[in-house]
């Protein structure tokens, strides 16, 4: 989704949060352009960002939430130096590139590890997960500690998109309630 779509959505629905995951090299060039177009949160990939601390601070300076994304092969521990300054961490649970992939199971362990670090250090970042998320694994992802879920194929490629979205929303609420009860 490029800046023309971002601008159009922002003008039509100004209260809509527009979360942008920049799967590009040299994101510093594009960060201000996307935020000016209406992006309210921007994540960049750890694997390609030359100066991650600088890029995250640039995103914040331009008025958006700053996130860092990690690919399935990237260890959570590599984010140690930026966890105190990010607003969210996006765990890719498939290899980026196309929809409809199956989740890479060890990604749920990354969510669990990030949730543990967040709790231990009393940090405030959200945990987002993207890739292969559907009704069969949504609860375990939320139980592991994910706050934000990105689900494309499970919503838009299963027939009735509205019914699929309602079902995923219901499952997410149920999992969050169960998580709340188990932590008390």
pLDDT exceeds 60 at position 184: no
Q: What are the pLDDT digits (tens) for 123-134? A: 999 999 987 788
Q: Looking at the domain that runs over 16-182, which CATH code has it been given?
A: 3.20.20.70
Determine the pLDDT at residue 54.
94
For residue 2, name the pLDDT band (cuts at 50, 70, 90): confident
Per-residue burial over 141-177, b if 16 or more Cβ lie within 10 Å, else e, is bbbbbbbebbbebbbeeeeeeeebeebbeebbeebee
β-pair partners for 129? 91, 149
pLDDT exceeds 60 at position 83: yes
């Amino acid at each position: 989704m490029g800046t023309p779509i971002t601008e159009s959505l922002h003008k039509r629905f100004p209260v809509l949060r527009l979360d942008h995951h920049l799967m590009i090299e040299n994101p510093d060039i594009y960060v201000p352009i996307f935020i000016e177009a209406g992006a309210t949160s921007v994540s960049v990939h750890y694997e390609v960002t030359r100066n991650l601390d600088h890029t995250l601070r640039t995103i914040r300076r331009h008025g958006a939430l700053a996130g860092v994304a990690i690919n399935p092969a990237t260890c959570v521990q590599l984010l140690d130096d930026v966890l105190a300054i990010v607003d969210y961490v996006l765990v890719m649970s498939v290899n980026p590139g196309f929809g409809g992939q199956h989740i890479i199971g060890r990604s749920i362990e990354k969510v669990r590890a990030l949730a543990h670090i967040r709790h231990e250090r009393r940090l405030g970042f959200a945990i987002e997960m993207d890739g292969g998320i559907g009704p069969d694994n949504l609860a375990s992802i939320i139980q592991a500690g994910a706050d934000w879920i990105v689900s494309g194929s499970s919503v838009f490629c299963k027939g009735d998109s509205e019914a699929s979205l309602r079902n995923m929303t219901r499952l997410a609420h149920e999992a969050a309630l169960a998580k709340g009860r188990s932590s008390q």
